């Protein structure tokens, strides 16, 4: 039965949560739920669909109705599943068959006709009306009557369907959004699992109760297999075929927008600069000539609010010549004109959104590239407060606006070399805890022949990690400090959707990839071991000593501030005497100043005291995180989210919006007894888990 229950979760997530609008997801979570539990589920959907207008929700429902007007999605999914083995066989054993799903879908259509408009209208209300709660219960009754074996299995594993819903929500947030990449290129959709092993290990951590525990005592779900992941990909492929054949172009454009609002990465054919394989994955394979990347210069809209619009110039628009084994790349006047024209259009079209100008060198077949950047082009890009991204097969380099002075420059060149590790690590002392891999990336930025040794703003470096056999939780980018003979960490944020790792540097030099295997003696059997080791290996958290982490000790406000500043990639800054109770020479003073300058903290008494040695409360932790990532909720939404917890009303006023935002999105979890415990003090282990989530957010 444990393996069979896996099929239920897959059915929920793929046959319902993606294919059918929110009301079905409500139904899947309800079975003799109280009104307040129904409200909790509805509040989650209000948060998840917060970027949608009511018209958006109705349009999305209409699109899905059109997709499945003759049960094409259901039929395609079950054709992909089959019945002889694997997921298809297990679904059938649960009574989840093409026939039963089709039957429920028919009932759902009638239910939506009578109730969906009212349900959408209530997105503006704090609480569901009695009529809507009753309608949802009717839908749930039909669900139970249709899937009786399925329903029995839910109760075998969980105390309530609410807990099953929470697990399904976790799978959506941590598995589908992180590992399913949506592409919409040439008017055609595809849905692809980007990292099979990551998909499998992440979902198994949830199913086995290792990273998210909601099961009854002694219950869990057996892990999925490679074959199961392949089967899920088959379902996604079948969905893409239906979408591409059934929808008109305007409907596909709308669906692309809606999937972006739900949090999926939507690739529209313009690289974001994070592709390639050379530094992380091996040699680029040749230095004998130039190449071209097909396509026209174009604009890609922001994938979601707050993200960048991109203007891309394919390498086919660049001049490439070979000189002594080096590919020398230059811009034509036509290429410059096209880029600047598109830059102006992108700013007009997406007012308020940042713009990244992308120069795609992925078609230049060389390990040694010299890019001559026209001063006039870069001046216009920086003047527009835009960034310049250089895409390689091997990596990506992003220069933020005004990263260096170009006012009087005549010749700006960027030299990029992919170099074997054996060459760059000669005479470098690498501790046995480090495992370097791939190739090194050697970057030199010059203005009028003179190297730029420091940048005004940090540049971003991305390495492709697809195909690497590595533990990405311990992987980082390191600067090769030749002068001092050591490696310096510059970043280790992994973008699982695009299979890249990112770091930030204030100067260009030589950079390598390395795993850092840091652990502590007192966490070997602790539940937080994976989180502590990962964040220690990313140089975000440290132990009380080199060998002891002391996971169950409470954490102070000063300790957490340092962790959060490092997790966000912020640099410590000289202390300015901001708080009366923070000494200039305190070990945490520069981190407190950095947090204050970035509006992460205000102090216990604003501008007066910080209470660095006071134990950290959960609500203060969430307030600081919410400020750090600009995530909060309105008072009405906060009320709705917090009202679902026994002690939600005890959250202090200053923290309510932040606590609701983090809990509503699953960034911070409540406790199994449905409490938040906002005044409680967190342990170092609990904070390590939260910091892990923020670092990978």
pLDDT tens, position by position, 638-652: 888 888 888 999 999
Does residue 423 carry a pLDDT above 60?
A: yes
Q: Specify burial of residue 529 (Cβ count, 10 A radius: 0-12, 13-18, 19+).
A: middle
Sheet of 266-267: strand order equals 188-193, 180-185, 266-267
pLDDT tens, position by position, 400-420: 999 999 888 888 999 999 988
Does residue 539 carry a pLDDT above 90?
A: yes
Highest mean pLDDT among 498-502, 617-621, 660-664: 617-621
pLDDT tens, position by position, 189-219: 999 998 888 888 888 888 877 766 677 777 7
- pLDDT > 90 fraction of the chain, expressed in percent and rounded: 34
Nearest to 622 by CA among 666, 568, 658: 658
pLDDT tens, position by position, 163-197: 787 778 778 877 888 888 888 887 889 999 988 88
Measure Cα distances from 562 to 570, 586, 612 in Å: 10, 12, 11
Distance CA 683, CA 552 (A): 5
Query: 467 pLDDT band (50/70/90 cuts)?
Result: confident
- Which pLDDT value is given to residue 84? 60
Distance CA 169, CA 21 (A): 14
- Which pLDDT value is given to residue 24? 35
Q: Which residue has the higher pLDDT, 495 or 315?
A: 495
Q: Specify burial of residue 175 (Cβ count, 10 A radius: 0-12, 13-18, 19+).
A: buried
Sheet of 387-391: strand order equals 298-300, 309-313, 355-360, 387-391, 395-399, 459-464, 500-505, 493-495
Report, as an integer, the average pLDDT of 422-446: 88
pLDDT tens, position by position, 31-46: 466 787 788 778 777 7
Distance CA 155, CA 273 (A): 47
DSSP assignment of 585-627 equals T-TTHHHHHHHHHTTS--TTBTTTB--TTSBPBHHHHHHHHHH
Q: Which residue has the higher pLDDT, 563 or 323?
A: 563
Alpha helical stretches, state H, 350-457: 375-383, 421-424
- Which pLDDT value is given to residue 136? 85
Nearest to 197 by CA among 473, 538, 517: 473
For residue 551, the 8-state DSSP code is T
Does residue 28 carry a pLDDT above 80?
A: no
- Which pLDDT value is given to residue 674? 85
Mean pLDDT of the chain: 82
Measure Cα distances from 93 to 1, 113, 153, 155 in Å: 10, 31, 11, 17
- Which pLDDT value is given to residue 548? 96
Tokens representing residue 160 in the block: 């309530």
Does residue 293 carry a pLDDT above 90?
A: no
- Which pLDDT value is given to residue 373? 93
Report, as an integer, the average pLDDT of 445-470: 91
Rounded to a whole number of angstroms, the distance between the first and last alpha carbons of the chain is 34
Report, as an integer, the average pLDDT of 552-575: 93
- Which pLDDT value is given to residue 556? 94
Distance CA 8, CA 28 (A): 10
Distance CA 15, CA 262 (A): 17
Lowest mean pLDDT among 87-101, 609-623, 681-695: 87-101
Tokens representing residue 221 in the block: 């779900």
- Which pLDDT value is given to residue 279? 58
Annotated domain spans of the chain: 2-265, 278-516, 521-695
Query: 315 pLDDT band (50/70/90 cuts)?
Result: confident
- Which pLDDT value is given to residue 211? 65
- Which pLDDT value is given to residue 280? 58
pLDDT tens, position by position, 336-394: 998 999 999 888 888 878 999 999 888 787 889 999 999 999 999 999 999 999 988 87
Does residue 83 carry a pLDDT above 60?
A: yes
Query: 519 pLDDT band (50/70/90 cuts)?
Result: very high
- Model pTM greater than 0.75? no
- Which pLDDT value is given to residue 446? 94
Q: Are 400 and 369 in contact (CB under 8 A)?
A: no
Q: What CATH number belongs to 278-516?
A: 2.60.220.30
Nearest to 386 by CA among 403, 374, 371: 403
pLDDT tens, position by position, 259-290: 887 778 788 764 443 333 345 554 333 322 33
pLDDT tens, position by position, 104-130: 878 888 888 888 888 888 877 777 888
- Which pLDDT value is given to residue 496? 79
Q: Are 277 and 441 in contact (CB under 8 A)?
A: no
Phi, psi (rounded to 5 degrees) for 541: -125, 155
Query: 593 pLDDT band (50/70/90 cuts)?
Result: very high
Does residue 676 carry a pLDDT above 80?
A: yes
- Which pLDDT value is given to residue 212? 62
- Which pLDDT value is given to residue 304? 66
Does residue 23 carry a pLDDT above 90?
A: no
Does residue 243 carry a pLDDT above 80?
A: yes
Q: Which residue has the higher pLDDT, 451 or 221?
A: 451
């Amino acid at each position: 039965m444990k393996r069979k229950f896996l099929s239920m979760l897959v059915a929920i997530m793929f046959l319902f949560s993606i294919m059918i609008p929110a009301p079905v997801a409500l139904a899947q979570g309800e079975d003799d739920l109280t009104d307040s539990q129904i409200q909790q589920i509805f509040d989650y959907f209000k948060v998840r669909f917060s970027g949608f207008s009511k018209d958006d929700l109705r349009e999305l429902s209409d699109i899905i109705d059109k997709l499945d007007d003759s049960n094409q999605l259901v039929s395609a999914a079950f054709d992909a599943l089959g019945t002889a083995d694997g997921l298809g066989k297990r679904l059938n054993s649960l009574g989840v068959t093409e026939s039963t799903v089709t039957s429920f879908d028919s009932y759902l259509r009638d239910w939506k006709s009578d109730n969906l408009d009212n349900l959408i209208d209530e997105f503006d209300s704090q609480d569901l009306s009695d009529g809507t709660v009753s309608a949802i219960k009717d839908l749930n009754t039909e669900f139970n009557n249709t899937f009786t074996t399925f329903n029995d299995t839910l109760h075998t594993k969980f105390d309530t369907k609410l807990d099953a819903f929470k697990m399904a929500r976790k799978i959506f947030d941590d598995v589908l959004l992180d590992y399913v990449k949506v592409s919409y290129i040439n008017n055609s959709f595809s849905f692809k699992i980007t990292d099979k092993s990551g998909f499998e290990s992440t979902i198994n951590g949830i199913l086995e109760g290792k990273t998210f525990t909601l099961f009854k005592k002694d219950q869990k779900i057996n892990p999925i297999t490679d074959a199961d992941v392949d089967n899920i990909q088959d379902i996604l492929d079948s969905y893409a075929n239906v979408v591409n054949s059934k929808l008109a172009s305007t409907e596909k454009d709308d669906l692309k927008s809606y999937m972006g609002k739900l949090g999926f990465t939507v690739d529209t054919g313009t690289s974001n600069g994070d592709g390639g394989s050379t530094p992380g994955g091996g040699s680029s394979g040749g230095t004998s000539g130039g190449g071209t990347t097909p396509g026209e210069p174009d604009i890609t809209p922001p994938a979601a609010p707050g993200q960048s619009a991109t203007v891309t110039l394919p390498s086919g628009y660049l001049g490439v010549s070979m000189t002594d084994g080096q590919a020398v790349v230059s811009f034509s006047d036509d290429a410059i004109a096209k880029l600047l024209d598109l830059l102006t259009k992108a700013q007009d079209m997406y007012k308020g959104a940042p713009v990244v100008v992308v120069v795609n060198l992925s078609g230049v077949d060389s390990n040694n590239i010299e890019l001559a950047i026209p001063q006039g082009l870069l001046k216009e890009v920086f003047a527009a407060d835009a960034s310049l991204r250089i895409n390689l097969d091997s990596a990506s380099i992003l220069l933020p606006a005004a990263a260096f002075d170009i006012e009087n420059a005549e010749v700006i060149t960027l030299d990029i070399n992919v170099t074997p590790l054996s060459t760059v690590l000669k005479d470098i002392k690498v501790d046995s805890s480090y495992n370097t891999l791939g190739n090194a990336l050697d970057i030199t930025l010059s203005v009028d022949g003179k190297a730029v040794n420091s940048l005004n703003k940090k540049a971003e470096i991305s390495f492709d990690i697809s195909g690497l056999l590595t533990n990405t939780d311990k992987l980082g980018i390191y600067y090769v400090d030749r002068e001092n003979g050591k490696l310096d960490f510059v970043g280790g944020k992994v973008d699982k959707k695009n299979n890249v790792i990112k770091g930030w540097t204030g100067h260009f030099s030589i950079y390598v990839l390395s795993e850092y295997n840091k652990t502590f003696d007192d966490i070997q059997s602790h539940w937080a071991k994976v989180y502590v080791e990962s964040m220690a290996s990313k140089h975000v958290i440290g132990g009380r000593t080199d060998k002891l982490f002391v996971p169950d000790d409470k954490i102070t406000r000063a300790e957490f501030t340092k962790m959060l500043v490092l997790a966000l990639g912020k640099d410590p800054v000289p202390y300015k005497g901001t708080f009366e109770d923070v000494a200039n020479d305190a070990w945490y003073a520069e981190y407190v100043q950095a947090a204050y300058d970035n509006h992460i903290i205000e102090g216990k008494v604003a501008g007066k005291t910080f209470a660095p040695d006071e134990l950290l409360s959960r609500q203060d932790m969430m307030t600081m995180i919410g400020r750090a990532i600009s995530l909060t909720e309105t008072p009405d939404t906060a009320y709705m989210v917090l009202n679902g917890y026994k002690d939600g009303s005890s959250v202090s006023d200053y923290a309510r919006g932040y606590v609701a935002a983090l809990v509503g999105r699953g960034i911070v979890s409540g406790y199994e007894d449905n409490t938040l415990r906002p005044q409680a003090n967190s342990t170092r282990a609990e904070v390590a888990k939260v910091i892990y989530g923020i670092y990978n957010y």
